[in-house]
């Protein structure tokens, strides 16, 4: 029997450091029998999964399954952008900072960024870029991309999303939402995906699964089928067509079909709230941002950080200020939160730079 060197204690590095929801693992096992059509072609699982997405996003939506979040974002943007056009996004967007230049490489277009403190943009941030419209020397702004929840742990209200969509459409642009953590956002706001995405007028959504209990698999959801024309070809060209598609489909069927998305996000969000409330009781630690979904941003003494990281790993967000990001995931427990807070309190006693 092969032995695996397994990882240690759970940490707070990111919500994709967690494993797979037991229900998801069961779904993977359940479809791991006999032969299934490859690529989802004529596979009844494809219709079943797409029907679940239609229940959430309406009959005019069209959903395509891909491997990962970068692929979902890049392909979604590529679909709506020509190489002389640009996407406007917050500087902190995953699309801009963490996709290794893939959006620029695959779209040929440019990302025009806005520096924001809270990771959010509004129409007034996009407005200055409109001066380039019709000027042949400038890239033409064509798409706005926002993340829900954002990379800074914040949320857009439905009203803010609707305002951005309206502004985009008035100016012949589209609105893309990076929903790698859309389940956490919907649960935190107590709204449905339909209220947040369809009713607000979003054009295309990257729907995340991996950060909320799936092994792999994300979806690109076009809210208007017209915009999806030819997408199956660009997905293949973009190397995101899964050959053993059944394993992505089965995960989404259990994820959307039995409320797993909600239960997992509730747990992650609740643990973030608990963590936020309890970590501030440690002298020298304070919250640096509002906690709105499953991410907690805090400032702590710089000498504490490496010591605490040895016990519960997490990422430093700002080396200068000592801001760290503590992400909770569907499998974060009260014991994990208590363990981190106790460790911080214990280690703080030996830290002399507060
Ligand atoms: C906001 C956001 N979008 C997209 C992704 C998708 O990334 P990946 O390509 O690793 O699945 C991530 C993951 O870190 C993310 O945080």
- Predicted pLDDT at 352: 61
**Are 175 and 309 found together in one domain?**
no
Q: What CATH number did the domain enclosing 287 receive?
A: 3.90.1150.10
Q: Separation of 125 CA from ligand 1 center, angstroms?
A: 23
Q: Whose CA is nearest to atom 10 of ligand 1?
A: 69
Q: What is the DSSP string of 272-310?
A: HHHHHHHHTTSTT-EESS---SSEEEEE--TTHHHHHHH
What percentage of the chain's residues is helix, strand, coil (to nearest 5)? 45, 15, 40
**Are 190 and 294 found together in one domain?**
no
- Predicted pLDDT at 34: 84
pLDDT tens readout for residues 28-50: 999 998 899 999 999 999 999 99
Q: Is the CB of 11 under 6 A from ligand 1?
A: no
CB 110 within 8 A of CB 89: no
Please identify, by atom number, the ligand 1 atom nearest to the C-alpha of residue 178.
Answer: 3
Which of 258, 283, 309 delimits the end of a domain?
A: 258
- Predicted pLDDT at 85: 98
**Are 335 and 218 found together in one domain?**
no
Q: Is the CB of 92 under 6 A from ligand 1?
A: no
Q: Is the CB of 69 under 6 A from ligand 1?
A: yes
Q: Whose CA is nearest to atom 6 of ligand 1?
A: 69
Which of 258, 293, 315 delimits the end of a domain?
A: 258
Query: Does residue 111 form part of some domain?
Result: yes
Q: Is the CB of 70 under 6 A from ligand 1?
A: yes
> Two tokens at 301?
């003494």
Which of 239, 258, 277 delimits the end of a domain?
A: 258
Query: Does residue 17 form part of some domain?
Result: no
Instruction: Print the domain residue range for 316.
Output: 261-348
Q: Kindly give the parts of the chain with pLDDT less than 50.
A: 354
Total domains in the fold of the chain = 2
């Amino acid at each position: 029997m092969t032995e695996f060197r397994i990882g240690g204690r759970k940490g707070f590095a990111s919500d994709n450091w967690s494993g797979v929801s037991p229900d998801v693992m069961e779904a993977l096992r359940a479809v791991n029998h006999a032969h299934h059509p490859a690529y989802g072609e004529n596979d009844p699982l494809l219709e079943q999964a797409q029907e679940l997405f239609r229940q959430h996003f309406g009959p005019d939506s069209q959903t395509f399954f891909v491997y990962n979040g970068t692929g979902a974002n890049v392909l979604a943007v590529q679909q709506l952008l020509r190489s002389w056009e640009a996407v406007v996004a917050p500087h902190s967007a995953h699309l801009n900072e963490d996709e290794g230049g893939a959006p620029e490489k695959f779209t040929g277009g440019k990302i025009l960024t806005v520096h924001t403190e809270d990771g959010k943009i509004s129409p007034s941030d996009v407005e200055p870029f409109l001066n380039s419209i019709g000027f042949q020397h400038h890239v033409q702004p064509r798409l706005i991309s926002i993340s829900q929840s954002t990379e800074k742990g914040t949320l857009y209200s439905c009203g803010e999303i609707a305002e951005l969509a309206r502004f985009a459409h008035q100016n012949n642009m589209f609105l893309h939402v990076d929903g790698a953590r859309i389940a956490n956002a919907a649960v935190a706001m107590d709204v449905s995906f339909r209220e947040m995405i369809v009713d607000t007028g979003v054009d295309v959504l990257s729907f995340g699964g991996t950060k909320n209990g799936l092994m792999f698999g994300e979806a690109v959801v076009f809210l208007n089928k017209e915009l999806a024309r030819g997408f199956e070809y660009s997905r293949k060209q973009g190397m995101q067509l899964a050959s053993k598609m059944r394993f992505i489909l089965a995960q989404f069927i259990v994820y959307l079909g039995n409320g797993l998305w909600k239960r997992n996000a509730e747990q992650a969000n609740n643990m973030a709230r608990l963590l936020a409330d309890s970590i501030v009781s440690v002298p020298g630690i304070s919250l640096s941002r509002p906690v709105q979904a499953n991410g907690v941003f805090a400032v702590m003494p710089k000498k504490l950080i490496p010591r605490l990281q040895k016990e519960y790993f997490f990422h430093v967000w700002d080396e200068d200020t000592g801001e760290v990001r503590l992400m909770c995931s569907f499998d974060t427990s009260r014991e994990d939160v208590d363990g981190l807070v106790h460790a911080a309190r214990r280690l703080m006693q030996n830290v002399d730079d507060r």
